[in-house]
Every structure is written in structure tokens, then in C-alpha cells.
Structure 1
Amino acid sequence: MTRTTITTATTDNPVLGFPPATPAEALAHFGASLAFHADVSDVAEALAAGGDPGFTLVDTRSTQAWDQGHIPGAVHLPGGRIPQLAAELLDPARPVVVYCWGPGCNGATRAAFALAGLGYRVKEMLGGIEYWLREGFAYDTADGAARRPADPLTAPVAAEACGC
């Protein structure tokens, strides 16, 4: 969102050197962010609830990466194959949530862009498979199901959910 006024830094404080957005600007910005993103815990909760989660989860990584580990129930659609395979694998009336490796990879962003260009409603799962694994959720590999313990720096150790 473009700020409606131009301000200059008025303090040596690195946090407040540029004033925070107005509440209306913040509402628009963060509302847009939530429209474009889902977090790992929310995706896990929706999938674990049983029944139809209301979206299709798509892993956009290579076949080698998929075989190494992917989220159970995800559809495998490598990003470079979206133009050829999306119509075959995805229902255009159903929202799509895409993921790739993790925060250092923009493959899911590119996939979301490609799917949106084809008319799909799409969200990106923040953190990708990296944070799925770090939060201790189960995953499938070419050799079967697996699970790692949660990383205590990314997931609550003694609670079902983080409370956010």
C-alpha cells in the first residue's frame, strides 16, 4: 500500500524514525496480508479437523523434493508445470494453498502468481515445508510416513497450539 503522506525520519529511534501507519492503512495492509497468506499451524489445524478443509494444498517443489518429504494430502504440482497441469489437477472453483521449501525460497510465491494468472484463488503457506517439519507435523516420504520432534524455538513444547 502506498502511504498517502511522505514523512521524514524525525527521531534517532530506528523503530519510530518513520512513523507507524495510520490504523486505516494498517487495517488495509494486514487484511491484505491475511488474504494472501496462511501459516503452517492453521493449515495443519484445517487438515487435522477431518472432512474437507475447503482448499487444495499444493506442493510446488520438484519430484525429488516431493519424494524427500511432503505434507500428507497435498497435490504435487511443480511450479514449472503449472501451465500444463493445473487444469488437470485443480478445481478452479476451489481455493488453493501453495507451499515450497521455506522462507528463503520464493517458489511458492511464483507458483501463486502463476495460479492467480490462470484464475485460481490462491494463498501462500508461510514457512513452507521447512516450518511444517520444524513444528513437528507428520509428513510423507517415498518410503512412508515420518515425523520429527518439534523445534522448541518455532513451536510450543507443552501446548497443542501457540495461542496466537
Structure 2
Amino acid sequence: MTLTTTERDAAIEHFAAKLRFETDPSDIAAGFAAGDDFVLVDVRGHASWHQGRIEGAIHLPHAEIPERAADLIPAGTAVVVYCWGPGCNGATRGALRFARLGYPVKEMIGGFEYWTREGLPIVDDAGSLTRAPDILTAPRSAATGVSCDC
């Protein structure tokens, strides 16, 4: 089956928009390593933050974004938000709130769950934690460490 020109254009528009507004844990880890200029924001509640979080993220629960974002993040700064995982739309709510405030924003698909499943470093109130990568989410290689391989 070949797509019509209209269907092809719609597909291109759809997938380009996803890449403009979504990112994933491996790309965020690479961005941290490269020193890319963005702020990673954990939009979960306080109990979740204390249980574990991505090192380098700031904590701003999505309900508090309209009142507190400007005090924590300079206007115009690129923001990436995350919540628990694919079964939670808290990151979508957070991204919408940042967009309404005029921030360039992306949602980290997979959230905290897939960050940890890829074996990327996390912290909790007691210190640093690292888990072995889940082979269902990230290939393992002695030479290169963890990457999404895509």
C-alpha cells in the first residue's frame, strides 16, 4: 500500500511534531554529558521526589508550575519534564503548563521508569543509586555502556 500525498504529508507532520515535543532518557543522558542547555524538571509530588529522582533534575510538581516556574527557571530556557512513566500523564500536564508560560518544552517519554530501566543514574535522599539496565529496554555492551541503540 502506498500513501497518498495527503496521508504522507500528515504522517510527516505528525512524526516531526512528536520529535519537536518529545525526547527520551538516552537523549537526555547524552544531552547532560554534552552540556546541552536545558533544565530537567521532575513534576512528580514530594514523596516521589524523595523516593528517587534523576540526578541533576529540579523538583517542581506540575500543580506548582504556574506559580513557581519563573522563580526557578529563567524565561526562554529549554525545559524537559518527566513524571513516573508511560502510564502517567503528569509530564504531559507539566509540559502544557510550561508551554502556556511560553517556555520551549519537551516531555521525556518513558519518564523516571524508563530512565531507571536503562540503568541511568538516580539519587534518593540517601545518595546515588544505579541499577543494572533492563535488557528489554536497553542493549548492554562492555565497550559502550548503555544506550538505546537507535
TM-score > 0.5, shorter chain as reference: yes
Q: Between Structure 1 and Structure 2, which shows a larger proportion of helix residues?
A: 2
Partner of 2:8: 23
- Name the residue aligned to 2:26: 41
User: Which amino acid in structure 2 is aligned with residue 126 of structure 1?
Assistant: I
Work out whether residues 137 and 148 of structure 2, in 8 Å CA contact, stay in contact via their aligned partners in 1: no
Greater relative contact order (Cα 8 A, min sep 6): structure 1 or 2?
Answer: 2
Q: Which residue of 2 aligns with 1:163?
A: 149
Partner of 1:148: 131
What residue identity is the alignment partner of 2:9? A
Which structure shows the bigger proportion of residues in strand conformation?
Answer: 2
SS in 2 for 1:154: coil
Q: Give the distance between the partners of 2:17 and 2:65, measured in 1 at CA.
A: 24
Deviation per residue, 1:131-156 (Å, 9 max, x gap): 00000001010000111100011110
Give the structure 2 partner of residue 135 of structure 1: 118
Matched, 1:114 2:100: no
Q: 1:63: how far off?
A: 1.3
Cα deviations by residue, 1:45-102 (Å, 9 ceiling, x for unpaired): 11123x3x21110000111111111111101001111111101011111110000000
Shift of 1:104: 0.1
Larger radius of gyration: 1
Helix, strand or coil for the counterpart of 2:53? coil
Q: CA deviation at 1:162?
A: 3.1
Which ranges in structure 2 are unaligned for 5 or more consecutive residues? none
Residue type of the alignment partner of 2:16 = G
**Partner of residue 82, structure 2:** 99
Q: Secondary structure at the match of 2:107?
A: strand
Count of equivalent residues: 145
TM-score (norm 2): 0.91
Using structure 1 for the length normalisation, give the TM-score.
0.83
How far apart, CA to CA, are the structure 2 residues paired with 1:68 and 1:36?
27
Question: Root-mean-square deviation (CA), in Å?
Answer: 1.6
Q: 2:44 aligns with which of 50, 53, 61?
A: 61
